[in-house]
Amino acid sequence: MFDLVIGSGNRHKVAELRAMLPADRFRLTSLAELSDPLEVEETGDTFAENARLKATEQARHLGRWVLAEDSGLQVDALDGRPGVLSARFAGTHGDDAANNRLLLEQLSGVAIERRGAAFRCFMCLASADGTVQIEVDGGCHGRIADRESGSGGFGYDPLFVIPEYHLTFAELGPAVKNVLSHRARALQRLIPRLLKRVCQA
């Protein structure tokens, strides 16, 4: 078993990563399970920069391998916003309801054909000395609905419609989301390289 710290304090993201990483190959620990995790400031201008900061700084602090990610929503009609500010779009970090309200307000009057959007995810794996070992990204395209639908998921999931299904991520549920999502697609690229790296360790 390979010890790996999931460098996130977001319980929803941790749950998704736990569900998708092979449980028989990795002993996963979240930051919430540690007594002294580092509070890493997300000062990067891109998802890649923030993921790299969270992985490398946390790894050096803990002296352990860390997998970190940064992700968010980019809306075409808003020139890519909220982007790296997705979790604090409305001002308070993690206030999903306020973020969704603000997004709907800013898209008020925007025609459905102009409400295209994409979830983006960038993942970074750092070894115990803080050296970057693997970096991958993933994306998922959809559109923003004019109202929230569904009770599953988190963040912008009740507003993000997958065109092929005509349903939001919050309506589709975790089984489908864990195949189609930006985070799932990033992990699909990461896992083969991660398993190869574990075999070499």
pLDDT of residue 153: 85
pLDDT of residue 49: 97
pLDDT of residue 200: 66
Model confidence at 201, pLDDT cuts 50, 70, 90, reads: low
Neighbours of 75 (CB within 10 A): 25
| Whole-Å CA distances, 201 to 2, 58, 131, 193 | 9, 20, 14, 12
127, 142, 107: which is closest to 197 by C-alpha? 127
pLDDT of residue 152: 87
What integer best gives the mean pLDDT of the chain? 93
Question: CATH number of the domain that 180 lies in?
Answer: 3.90.950.10
Question: Is the alpha carbon torsion for 18, 37, 100, 142 positive or negative?
Answer: negative
Task: State the residue range of the domain holding 124.
Answer: 2-200
Catalytic residues: 70
Tell me: pLDDT of 199 over 70: no
- Total domains in the chain come to 1
Percentage with pLDDT > 90 across the chain: 78
Tell me: pLDDT of 61 over 80: yes
pLDDT tens-digit profile of 122-177?
999 999 999 999 999 999 999 999 999 999 889 999 999 999 999 999 999 888 88
pLDDT tens-digit profile of 86-122?
999 999 988 999 999 999 999 999 999 999 999 999 9
